[in-house]
Amino acid sequence: MTATEKLNKRRPILKKITIALWVVFALCIIGFPTYIWAVSNNLNNWFGNLPSYSQLENPDQNLTSLLFTADGVQLGSGYYRNNRNPVTYDQLGDNLVHALLAAEDIRFNSHSGIDLESMFRVAFGVITFSPKGGGSTISQQLAKNLFNTRVIKAEDKGKLEGVNGFLDQLIYKTKEWILSVRLERSYTKEEIMAMYYNTVEFGNNAYGIKSAAKTYFNKLPHELSVQEAAVLAGMQKGVTTYRPDINPENSMRRRNTVMSQMVKYDFLDKRAYDTLKVQEINLEEFRQQDHNTGLAQYFRAEASKDLLELCRNLGYDLYGDGLKIYTTLDSRMQAYAEDAMDSSMRSLQALFDQKLAKEGRDLWIDSKGREIENFFEESVIPRSQAYRSLVRKYGSKSDSVDYYMNKPKKLKVFSWGGDIDTVMSSIDSIRYYKQFLQSGFLATQPSTGAIKAWVGGVNFQHFKYDHVRYGKRQPGSLFKPFVYATAVEQGYSPCYTFRDEAVAIRTGNGSEVWDPSNAEGRFSGEEMTMKLAMAKSVNSITARVMDIVKPDKVVDMAKRVGIESTIPPYYSIALGTEDVSLFEILGAYGTFANKGTHIEPYYISRIEDKYGNEIYRHVPRKSKAINEDVAYVMLNMMQETVRNGSGIRLWAPGYYNLTDYNQTEFSIGAKTGTTQNASDGWFVAVTNDIVAGAWVGGDDRAIHFTHWPDGQGARTAMPIVALFLQDIYADSTLNLQKTVFQRPPNLSMEIDCQKFVDVLTPTDTTIYDDDIY
């Protein structure tokens, strides 16, 4: 065969090769760019929509809104859908930056969103069946995290998506390429690095590096050590697989891989690596961030309810817009309040349990200490959530309700010695939890209305109900100052005297007569001033004063100073028979401390958006309730409670030593309150700086001490308030001054009762409940 013949024979082959080369050339030079253009513009809606440039510049990250105290301490993990707190590049620290570069994208600073070298390496690995790792850059991963390129909404879905699995993967990857290049054009490398760390998940409800660093190591990102940074950066290969809390061996192996890469790229010295690689991962500071941990748990839960409405009215999303919310709480005062609650209630519960066991009785008793028959079965169980859920499911007459209520199951229950793993039925669990006494505590700054400490109960994880705002109970003698303030406003001096004797007051309701008795069940027959009668909570004299000033005037006084609950104009309200909340009581007593001006208690001072722009600032709601003279006289009368009444332990030797008997250098006013049967114990103390109050009682009013003195406010609620006051006035960082109440310059009313006595003889009067020392 001649050379010409051979050439002619090869021409078809050469022609095919040439055509193939031109096809490849056309695909590469023309087709691929055309394909990229088609995906970018969603040609004929084949490929689905891409985020707009506006969305690229303002990606929706569902940022956590953070809550701060007045002294700058973050409260808990904030409000979030995803627990994400963004940081800037400068806040990352070198260790995190180097770990991510070494583990994920060493050429990050030189490519423009797509790393061609890595792509060719991956392609070659696929062809030769020897994969050499992933080819996604940090920018591509950020695009996937920000815009969920592989989770397509119905309205964004293209015609070709969902047709074929391979085609889907190609389209998804193409979108990531396009978005990564666009991100590189819109942001600096530093911004992309920070955005990446802010968007990734780390398990345990931690989204973003700041939450992860806090959760796993209780540090800020820039404080992380080399090995800690390597742990978190390495988790991105598989969050669950490499979580240090559940897969420590996998996590340690992955950490060492990242550190070896850091050695390879000169981010870490080889000798340092040899030392670090054998060390175990230290998770001593590991704390899962949730609403059951941290400071002011009750407060945070209650604040969220008001913040939801406030933010909605402002046009913001509390759980996604990354707001900064500044509260009036003081972290130091809050910690002291929680410590005082814990210490006092732990001791009180031990006493209650001891007496309950010694008496060998059921939990629910009447005023005479007699067990209330079938109270648990007929009143407690039907009100329980477990019972109501079963009734909704099976019907009230179904045997299934009784079966499941009595079925044993594994539970973790609260105890003052720590949580206990046990086996209980729902019936047993309800009875068990009912035995715990409950409490609420609140402290406000009277001059501003700012709430400084809020403890809604004894343990938020197990008892969610907030006793500060929602726990309305009878205040007992805590209501009496409103009666006496009405009398003072009408011109009656606190030095007017009455005889402690039986009274019978016609109420105006037919032949009905109100004839209250004293707490101790007897009348002394002694003459005493209004000031001393209030200090000792003498019901008979309070009733006489009520008969003088009349119930409607007392109701008006209570409303003016801050009581918002409905109070009917009955004579018996003088002894605190109508339910009120601790929140209301503190606001009302704050009026006395604030020279007669009522300021509604508040706890949100201002709110900033994620850019630091102020979007809300609280404006105090003020009203002049009573004149300054009346307010001062009431403070002076409440001082008598500390000198000679039920608050005497505040200064008495061997107790709290908060002031001296004469209160010449430090004024404290106080009032106790105890309801009938000692179901509720109250105590409020007032200084120029702080109004602090506590309530203590059982979940049901029928849960109480058998002997009334054991449950009076001076013994149940006072210790919480007293310990709190001891701590805050001993803390020099709070800058609280032990000052005296300032007498108004033009006060003409006589208040020094050793100099003046005027005997009145009104009608008759009261008892119902109250404190004896």
HSE-up (13 A, CA, CB side) for residue 139 = 27
**Other beta carbons less than 10 A from residue 560's beta carbon:** 19
Angle at CA of residue 67, ends 294 and 86, nearest 5°? 100
Residue 161 clears pLDDT 60, i.e. is over it: no
CA–CA separation, 272 and 263 (whole Å):
9
Q: Give the range among 290-299, 420-429, 485-494, 627-636 with minimum mean pLDDT.
A: 290-299
CATH architecture of 80-295: Orthogonal Bundle (1.10)
Question: Nearest 10 degrees: CA dihedral of 322, 324, 329, 332?
Answer: 90
Cβ atoms 410, 420 nearer than 8 A: no
3-state secondary structure of 505: strand
Task: Tell me which of 148 and 733 has the higher pLDDT.
Answer: 733
3-state secondary structure of 290: coil
Band of the pLDDT at 116, cuts 50, 70, 90?
A: low
Q: What is the mean pLDDT of the chain?
A: 85
Residue 4 clears pLDDT 70, i.e. is over it: no
Residue 224 clears pLDDT 90, i.e. is over it: yes
Match 């839960």 to its residue by tokens: 301
pTM of the shown model: 0.79
Cβ atoms 465, 440 nearer than 8 A: no
Q: How far is CA 378 from the centre of its chain?
A: 34
Residue 44 clears pLDDT 60, i.e. is over it: no
> Of 551, 623, 633, 620, which is closest to residue 592 (Cα–Cα)?
633
pLDDT tens-place string over residues 664-708: 889 999 999 999 888 999 999 999 999 999 999 999 999 999 988
Residue 32 clears pLDDT 90, i.e. is over it: no
Give me the pLDDT at residue 511, please.
Answer: 75
Residue 620 clears pLDDT 80, i.e. is over it: yes
> Of 223, 202, 195, which is closest to residue 288 (Cα–Cα)?
202
pLDDT tens-place string over residues 569-611: 999 999 999 999 999 999 999 999 999 999 999 999 999 998 8
Cβ atoms 346, 417 nearer than 8 A: no
CA–CA separation, 328 and 316 (whole Å):
21
Give me the pLDDT at residue 315, please.
Answer: 92
> Of 103, 61, 89, which is closest to residue 229 (Cα–Cα)?
103
SS (H, E, C) 391-443: HHHHCCCCHHHHHHHCCCEEEEECCCCCCEEEEECHHHHHHHHHCCCEEEEEE
pLDDT tens-place string over residues 320-370: 888 999 999 999 999 999 999 999 999 999 999 999 999 989 899 988 888
Give me the pLDDT at residue 762, please.
Answer: 36
CA–CA separation, 546 and 401 (whole Å):
51
Q: Give the range among 115-119, 470-474, 733-737 with minimum mean pLDDT.
A: 115-119
Residue 733 clears pLDDT 50, i.e. is over it: yes
Q: Across residues 390-405, what is the average pLDDT? A: 90
Residue 444 clears pLDDT 90, i.e. is over it: yes
Residue 80 clears pLDDT 60, i.e. is over it: yes
Give me the pLDDT at residue 668, please.
Answer: 96
Instruction: Indicate the CATH number for domain 438-604+619-639+669-759.
Output: 3.40.710.10
Q: Across residues 473-496, what is the average pLDDT? A: 96
Q: Give the range among 108-122, 337-351, 526-540 with minimum mean pLDDT.
A: 108-122
Tokens of 674: 């105890």
Fold match between 80-295 and 438-604+619-639+669-759? no
Task: Report the phi/psi class of residue 51: left, alpha or beta, with left for phi > 0 and alpha for psi in -120 to 50.
Answer: beta
Q: Across residues 404-422, what is the average pLDDT? A: 93
Residue 650 clears pLDDT 50, i.e. is over it: yes
Q: Give the range among 109-123, 481-495, 661-675 with minimum mean pLDDT.
A: 109-123
CA–CA separation, 187 and 57 (whole Å):
8
Task: Tell me which of 131 and 581 has the higher pLDDT.
Answer: 581
Give me the pLDDT at residue 770, please.
Answer: 41
Sign of torsion, CA 752 758 763 767? positive
Band of the pLDDT at 31, cuts 50, 70, 90?
A: low
Give me the pLDDT at residue 144, please.
Answer: 77
Q: How far is CA 717 from CA 32, 202, 269, in A?
A: 78, 44, 61
3-state secondary structure of 665: coil
CA–CA separation, 10 and 89 (whole Å):
62
> Of 284, 290, 280, 278, which is closest to residue 216 (Cα–Cα)?
284
Residue 180 clears pLDDT 90, i.e. is over it: no
Domain parsing of the chain, residue ranges: 80-295, 304-434, 438-604+619-639+669-759
Q: Across residues 33-43, what is the average pLDDT? A: 52
Sequence-separated (6 or more) residues with CB below 8 Å from residue 38: 46, 47
Tokens of 444: 């406000």
Residues facing residue 327 across a β-bridge: 604
Percent pLDDT > 70 in the chain is: 82
Residue 764 clears pLDDT 80, i.e. is over it: no
Give me the pLDDT at residue 240, please.
Answer: 86
